[in-house]
Amino acid sequence: MKSQIKIEFLVSITSLSDPNIPQIMPGWGLIGRSNVGKSTLLNALANKKIARVSSTPGKTITINYYIVEDRWYFVDLPGYGYAKRSKSTIKDWGIVLEKFWKKHSNFISGMLLIDARHVPHKYDLQMVEWLNFYRVPFVTVANKVDKLKLKERQSLKRRIIQAYNIDAESIFLVSAFKKRGLEELLRTLQSFIG
């Protein structure tokens, strides 16, 4: 896929009271377990390296803003579910995420990345419950479909619907690494922003 949109890194913040927090604009908050491929997806959509990809899960501990077409955001949020992080750090991240959605609920929607090989996963199930509780509209992006056999890919969307109780129209099957399925995802993200 050759992206037709301009995506640029804007700023990293560690606190929602940071004076460098960008002005209010619509966008998508990227949510997912550590090592699910959020940075790889951003790089694939941008068709260049804009996000740091780490081989160490849980590396992103900041909130990273990317400006898209100078009019909306991708916001890369800290990954969850990484066991080697301390319980206090995980709790702090939970508080930050809750504050983020409360602060941005009127204009930022969620893009939940899940690993296509592990459906369902308990942390993803908890995140879906959390998003529904806070009434955050979201789409689900099943990444790493290239790692599945054909038969597994054919039944994947049905398994996601059953596991997470979400609509088929809000599910996208992609491979950020192979750059597959990104055109449809991008069209939907752009149309939702308007």
Q: Residue 7: name the closest of 62, 58, 71 by CA.
A: 71
* Residues sharing a CB contact under 8 Å with residue 20, sequence separation 6 or more, in sequence order: 11, 13
Q: Domain spanning 7-193: which CATH class is it, in words?
A: alpha beta
Cβ neighbour number for residue 18 with a 10 Å cutoff: 13
pLDDT per position in the chain (194 positions), as tens?
Answer: 554 689 999 999 888 888 888 888 899 999 999 889 999 999 999 999 998 765 555 555 688 999 999 999 999 998 887 655 556 655 666 777 888 888 887 788 999 999 999 999 998 999 999 899 888 899 999 999 999 999 999 999 999 999 999 999 999 999 999 999 999 999 999 998 86
Q: Is 148 helix (H, G, I), strand (E, B) or coil?
A: coil
pTM value surpassing 0.85: yes
Cα angle value 125/21/2 (rounded, 5°) = 65
d(CA 104, CA 82): 25
Cβ neighbour number for residue 172 with a 10 Å cutoff: 21
